[in-house]
Amino acid sequence: MATLKIWLLLLFVATIDAALGHENYVPIITNQIHLLRPQSGSGGSYVEGLSCLSWRLAVETNNLISWTQIPTSCVDYVGHYMLGSQYRQDSELVIEQALAHAKALNISTEGTDIWVFDIDETALSNLPYYADTGFGSEPYNATKFNEWVETKAAPALPATLELYEELLNLGIKVVFITGRPESQRNVTASNLKAVGYTTWEKLVLKGSDYSGKTAVVYKSAQRKILENDGYRIVGNIGDQWSDLLGTNIGLRTFKLPDPMYYIG
């Protein structure tokens, strides 16, 4: 009887093994961010009681506002999303649409048509920093983040760099408007140039006169100044709704994904 049980068990194991196809068998890695082999395309590990996909959708659609940290139970989910292919694919689709919009425009020959770019998680990616600090699950530490900014090591978001290059070819000028403070002008300019954003019409950083003001107020005011100076904002791209809401938003806005933090 015991022998039969063992035999049946062996048969069962062999069947499973054959069904899986030995060379295709990928061990399930739990609680680990795996850079090269995300566990699923949409970056999903299942979390009991909370759909992290619903949470991310609510974030991206601006239904969830003023949140300070991602839910602890969604750290793996957000990590897989950001490091896996889905984040890149989502970004590329945004850029495809932005490019289609740009190509359909009647660009002024006066050189007054501009496209507004945000910097963090738009032109540049702070993913190396966030991968190291829990993908937005740890409380924001300004000292630590500024140390990272000072390293000038932020890579370009590949899709955004592609848009940037195409816009310049189309005769559209680029203006960066960032929430980074004026004190980070030089490191920001160096970082941008080092990764391929070699030229721009203006690089606008947050001056002390806007301290305590929201991003919506500050960015709207800067866009208004640009329009008063005779520029036409033909497109506007950012990862935060506060890059795109408010006044003087331009002909069309484009929202890149960012489930790691919220700036109002």
Sites of contact with ligand NAG (CB under 6 A): 106, 108, 141, 143-144, 147, 183, 185-186
Residue of 261, 230, 229 lying closest to 243 (CA atoms): 261
For residue 141, the minimal CB distance to ligand NAG (Å) is: 4
Distance CA 124, CA 203 (A): 14
E strand or H helix that includes residue 89: helix 85-103
Minimum distance from residue 138 beta carbon to ligand NAG (Å) = 8
Our CB check for ligand NAG shows the closer of 147 and 209 to be: 147
Instruction: Specify the DSSP element, H or E, that contains 239.
Output: none
Q: What is the DSSP string of 102-165?
A: HHTS---TTS-EEEEE-TBTTTB--HHHHHHTGGGTSPP-HHHHHHHHHTT-PPB-HHHHHHHH
Q: Closest approach of Cβ 186 to ligand NAG, in Å?
A: 4
Nearer to ligand NAG, 72 or 141 (CB): 141
Give me the amino acid identity at 91. S
**239-245-249 Cα angle (round to 5):** 100
* Of residues 71 and 181, the one with the C-beta less far from ligand NAG: 181
Q: Give the shortest CB-134-to-ligand NAG separation in angstroms.
A: 12
Can you read off the two tokens belonging to residue 174? Answer: 């680029």
CB of 10 to ligand NAG, least distance (A): 53
**Nearer to ligand NAG among residue 7 and residue 140 (C-beta):** 140
Nearer to ligand NAG by Cβ, of 111 and 264: the residue is 111
Measured between alpha carbons, how far is 52 from 58 in angstroms, rounded to an integer? 10
Q: Kindly state the smallest distance separating residue 208's Cβ from ligand NAG, in Å.
A: 13
Distance CA 8, CA 21 (A): 20
Structure tokens at 125: 């990616």
How many CB atoms are located within 10 Å of the residue 179 CB? 19
Q: Which of residues 46 and 140 has its CB atom nearest to ligand NAG in the complex?
A: 140
Q: In the bound complex, what is the minimum distance in angstroms from residue 28's beta carbon to ligand NAG?
A: 33
The smaller minimum CB distance to ligand NAG, of residues 97 and 183, is found at 183
